Every structure is written in C-alpha cells, then in structure tokens.
Structure 1
Amino acid sequence: MAEQVVKSLPQTTPEGKEELGSIEVAPEVIEVIAGIATTEVEGIFGTRGSFASGVAEKFGKKVHGKGIKTEWTAEGLVVDVYCVVQYGSQVAKVAAKVQKQIREAIENMTALTTKEVNVHITGIQFEQDQQKAE
C-alpha cells in the first residue's frame, strides 16, 4: 500500500478566539522548528543532513531542517533527529535534553503534541576536528 504524503498539518483554533478559517502548518515548518531547537542544546555539535543540504550550506544557505525527519501518523506526530554530539558530553543526557527541547518548541509554536521524538546519534565531534573546521 502506498504511503500517503502529508502536505500540511491542521491546527486548532486557540481557546477564546473566534474561528475565522483553517490553519495549516507545512511539515517543513515542523522540521525547521525541531532543527533550531536541537542546535540550541548544549553538547550538540550539529545535525546530519543530506548531500543536497550539504551542498546548499557550501553556497552560504543556512538549512535549519537538515537532519530532521517528521512523519504524521494516525497516532500523532513522530520526529526523528539525526545529530552529532560534542566529545565529552554525556550522550544520554544530551539526547534527553534534545527530546525535551523539541517537544516544548513544537508545542509552544504550533500547539501540536508529539507522539515520539527519536534521537539518533550519528557521530561524535572531537575538539581538534572543530579547530580544523574553523
């Protein structure tokens, strides 16, 4: 069976406000929110993107949604984050902070609740590697 692609996520009207029409949020917006929330966590070096996002960044374009995958299922919103941790950080604590930060950011900005926030640690960035990159 073919997977249905979600083009937008329906929003609810805030309490006490008159409904004037429908509000929908594109999945890319959720990815950007999650990407920014991830990079704000101490101990995260960055997120792992695709080849295309890497090329775009080489040309000076900032890609905030790289390394983030969202999926809207019947049970709710599932967010997968692929990130690199700085050497010396406690991986479990950093991952838990990332989960909390993403949940709060998405809920505060869109009023959507997440079913799952899965953090995938794809690498560790060592200090000497950071100095070479600068």
Structure 2
Amino acid sequence: MASPSLELQGAIVARLKAWAGLSATVNGRVYDSVPAEEKRIAETGAGWPYITVGEGDETSDDADCIDGFEISLDIDIWSRANGYPESKRISDEVRKAIKSADLALPTNALVDFRHRQTRFLRDPDGLTSHAVMTFEGFAEQP
C-alpha cells in the first residue's frame, strides 16, 4: 500500500509539469531534490525560476473502517527576477493547477485538497524571491 502523501506528491509534480500556465516560466523545473543550476540550464535552457515540493506531514485520522490521513504540504517557488512579481504570478498558477481534490491518486482517494496560505519572502542572499505555499488535504487509504 502506497503512502497517500507520496502519491499526492507524484500527482502534484505531474500536474505542475503539464500545466500550461507554468510552461513558459517554469518549463518543467519542478523538483523534490533540486539539481545544480548548470544541470537545470542544460536540461531546460534556464536555471530559474523553479518549484520544489517542500516539507509536509501526514497525520492519521482514522474512523470506523476508514484509514484516513490529514496531509499538509508546502510547495516553494524560487525566483531570481527583480522583486516579487514573478514568484507571485507563478504561485497563482500553482494554486490554480492544484487547488482542488481532482488530483487522481493511483491507490488512495483524495477526498479534499485546498490552498491554505502563501507567504512571500526575500532570501538572505538578497537575490532570491521565495514563495511558500501551504496546502492541506484529506486522503483515504483502501
């Protein structure tokens, strides 16, 4: 039996890589583990911006005859464009792409999935804009 959060991560990555609203800016740069900038450039023609599937947690929430899981997941947007506009545009497209429970999981059932918040930060390097998006959902395991 697969972990609901692992299946959800796979569905999110696939959706973001295929989402038309992200193709021009992100061009498939959606990662769990970020490759070196040189490799990103070689593979996609650019190193920035990119998206990472960040930290999350999976909490058991079982009921009668149902193995349920509350899932919280962060998605991060990284940009080197001047200011916050690029990270804000990308985060809006990410929200549109994955804001509902229509993400199909191979063996588990995603009952609910929603965007909770987005925070915009300037990284200490002074060059990188960073958006941290938090999503929450509920999945049932057969």
Q: TM-score range by the shorter chain?
A: 0.3 to 0.5
TM-score of the aligned structures, taking structure 1 as reference length: 0.41
> Which structure's residues are more often strand, by fraction?
2
Q: Which has the larger radius of gyration?
A: 1
TM-score of the aligned structures, taking structure 2 as reference length: 0.40
> Which structure's residues are more often helix, by fraction?
1
